[in-house]
Structure 1
Amino acid sequence: MPREYDKLVRDGIPEIIRESDEEPVTHTVEGEAYRDRLREKLDEEVAEYHDGEDPEELADVLEVLAALAGTHGLTESELEAMREAKADDRGRFEDGVVLEAVRE
């Protein structure tokens, strides 16, 4: 009985499946459907990190972010530059600051 997935996978996964003497059933998506699948994949990878806190899952998150950036016409280096500019302007997340409230 076939295993059903209906999820975006890395480009090399179909070949890896073939090497295991199984036959993948695939299709490709583009445009907004591709962006939707990437957003779903981002949620999946973040959830996997939450579940096990495996640092390798962070690499998967970065891979999905790079693909999402590409759908916006950004290269990884442009995205990194945006990240750095925002960090320079607003800071990073290194000090563990938690905003509790803003009083008037």
Structure 2
Amino acid sequence: MSYPKLVRDRIPAIIAEEGRQCRTTTLSEPDFRVALLAKLVEEAEEVQTALDDELLTELADVLEVFDTILTAHQLTMAQVRQVQELRRQTRGGFDKCIQLEWVEY
């Protein structure tokens, strides 16, 4: 099976331990950043379809990718939290469970 996708560091070793073979490449920094963003979407889709007993694991995977994106872009969680709070103050959070149905133009 062929598919280029970003995987966790130990995945090639796990594949080898199972008696299978794989081929890997090491991405350049720009390609790694692009792959990380694609991986974030992949993991978010897995959260969306997760069953209740899978949700925690899938959220942990999203957080792992998120943390790696921060590192790759030399950002900190403190910076993200600061912007999050500003956006919460100006646009609100999601506490009221509001779904927008339509907007008239």
Cα RMSD of the aligned pairs, angstroms, is 2.3
1:62 matches 2:63: yes
| Shift in CA distance, 13/84, structure 1 to aligned 2, threshold 3 Å | farther
Deviation at 1:24, TM superposition (A): 2.3
1:23 counterpart residue number: 21
**Paired amino acid for 2:44:** V
Structure 2: 5+ residue runs without aligned partners?
none
- Aligned residue-pair number: 101
Q: What TM-score do you get using the length of structure 1 for normalisation?
A: 0.75
What fraction of aligned residue pairs are identical, expressed as a percent? 36
Deviation at 1:27, TM superposition (A): 0.7
1:48 matches 2:49: no
C-alpha distance in structure 1 between counterparts of 2:98 and 2:2, whole Å: 43
Deviation at 1:97, TM superposition (A): 2.6
Runs of 4 or more off by more than 4 Å in structure 1? Answer: 99-103
1:13 counterpart residue number: 11
**Paired amino acid for 2:3:** Y
C-alpha distance in structure 1 between counterparts of 2:12 and 2:81, whole Å: 30
Structure 1: 5+ residue runs without aligned partners?
none
Give SS of 2:58's match: helix
Q: Which has the higher contact order (CA 8 A, sep 6+)?
A: 2
**Paired amino acid for 2:60:** A
| Shift in CA distance, 30/50, structure 1 to aligned 2, threshold 3 Å | same
Give SS of 1:69's match: helix
